[in-house]
């Protein structure tokens, strides 16, 4: 059955986030030959349309409005709902990022539509698409299907392998005029933390430190290993609470939820709240000097020992292998 799908593209620091391409890959499977539209909100994003076309968009809406340059819940909700009324898609896909998590339920409620959030996979059963999503903090997975009407779906980053697929119809760029009024939220200033390195939420490899690193300096060997592997550095709340690192690195129930290909936990005990943020990683390696640490129950590979001895050895070995 053909479906028309609208994907909200997400731009960060002038670049499309990789999860946008994952959403377009999902859109192509879901559409079963139907029309795929992408939307770029904000000014000056037209040069990015070609990349959306390369990943399967048949048309790209350019909603160039000054109020869309920065995310505000009411500005984006107004723009997205106006676009949905205009485009009339069957399915609306958003990245399951801070923006998507906030926007999708608002827009879905405003339009009286269903929402399947935080999807990590898409399968077919009896000819119908079925979305896979983690529940109970990643301890189990459930399958959700569409009922009648339009549906919103959010896609968790790093779960759907990106495929390039140029639209066979060519890609149209369509300016879309939005009418934004009565904004209740005004962003006056954005103060960004200057965190160098790989974006944690989309990193393929994450090296994480817990209270076992013992100090801010204790993160240095982890950063060195991350640099060699092109990885991001993450942390447990224990390490953040102890002041060893910034809270923006926190992984878990009250931090970031990530799904890298490889997660290396160093000096992290494996509390349930931490596992909620990383237990769906494809391969988990744990380094802990306590053989009874619960992290070993979810680890694919466990190293019992002192992280300050093991991490530098790993760095040295990877440096040789990758030279």
Q: Does 254 bind ligand FAD (CB under 6 A)?
A: yes
- 269 and 235 in contact (C-beta within 8 Å)? no
- What is the distance between the alpha carbons of residues 278 and 126, in angstroms, rounded to a whole number? 32
**Tokens representing residue 120 in the block:** 């990590």
Give the integer Cα–Cα distance in Å for 182 and 75: 9
* DSSP assignment letter at 136: T
Q: What is the dihedral of CA 32, 94, 207, 301, to 10 degrees?
A: -40
How many residues in the shown chain lie near ligand FAD by CB under 6 A?
Answer: 28
Euclidean distance between CA atoms 244 and 39, whole angstroms = 40
Least distance to ligand FAD, CB of residue 313, Å: 13
From the list 255, 260, 279, 284, which residue makes contact with ligand FAD (rule: CB under 6 A)?
255
Stretch that binds ligand FAD, among 69-77, 122-130, 146-154, 304-312 (CB under 6 A): 304-312
Among positions 38, 79, 107, 307, the unique one binding ligand FAD when judged by CB under 6 A: 307
Binding residue for ligand FAD, selected from 267, 284, 296, 299, defined by CB under 6 A: 267
Burial of 179 (0-12, 13-18, 19+ CB in 10 A): exposed
Q: How far is the CB of 246 from ligand FAD (least distance, A)?
A: 14
| DSSP β-ladder status, 15-16 and 11-12 | antiparallel
Would you give the DSSP letter of residue 71?
Answer: -
Examine residue 314 and tell whether it contacts ligand FAD (CB under 6 A). Answer: no
Q: How far is the CB of 61 from ligand FAD (least distance, A)?
A: 36
Question: Does residue 304 touch ligand FAD according to CB under 6 A?
Answer: no
For ligand FAD, the closer of residues 49 and 239 by Cβ is 239
The residue ranges that bind ligand FAD (CB under 6 A) are 210-212, 236-239, 250-255, 267-269, 271, 273-274, 277, 287-290, 293, 306-308
């Amino acid at each position: 059955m053909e479906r028309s799908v609208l994907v909200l593209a997400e731009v960060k620091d002038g670049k499309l986030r990789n999860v946008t391409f994952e959403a377009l890959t999902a859109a192509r499977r879901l559409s079963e030959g139907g029309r795929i539209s992408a939307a770029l909100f904000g000014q000056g994003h037209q040069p990015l349309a070609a990349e959306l076309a390369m990943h399967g968009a048949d048309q790209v809406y350019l909603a160039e409005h000054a109020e869309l340059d920065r995310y505000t819940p009411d500005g984006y909700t107004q723009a997205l709902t106006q676009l949905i009324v205009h485009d009339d898609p069957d399915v609306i896909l958003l990245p399951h990022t801070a923006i998507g998590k906030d926007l999708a339920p608002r827009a879905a409620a405003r339009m009286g539509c269903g929402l399947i959030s935080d999807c990590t996979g898409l399968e077919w059963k009896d000819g119908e698409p079925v979305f896979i999503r983690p529940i109970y903090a990643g301890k189990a997975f459930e399958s959700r299907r569409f009922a009648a009407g339009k549906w919103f779906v959010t896609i968790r980053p790093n779960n759907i392998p990106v495929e390039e697929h140029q639209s066979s119809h060519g890609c149209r760029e369509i300016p879309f005029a939005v009418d934004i009024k009565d904004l209740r939220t005004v962003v006056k200033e954005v103060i960004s933390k200057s965190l160098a390195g790989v974006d944690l939420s989309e990193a393929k490899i994450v090296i994480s430190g817990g209270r076992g690193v013992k100090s801010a300096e204790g993160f240095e060997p982890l950063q060195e290993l991350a640099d060699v592997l092109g990885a991001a550095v993450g942390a447990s709340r224990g390490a953040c609470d102890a002041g060893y690192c910034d809270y923006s690195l926190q992984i878990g129930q009250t931090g970031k939820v990530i799904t890298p290909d490889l997660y290396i936990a160093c000096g992290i005990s494996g509390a349930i709240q931490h596992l909620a943020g990383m237990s769906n990683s494809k391969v988990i390696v744990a380094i802990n000097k306590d053989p009874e640490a619960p992290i070993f129950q979810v680890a694919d590979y466990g190293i019992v020992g002192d992280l300050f001895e093991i991490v530098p050895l790993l760095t040295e070995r990877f440096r040789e292998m990758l030279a």
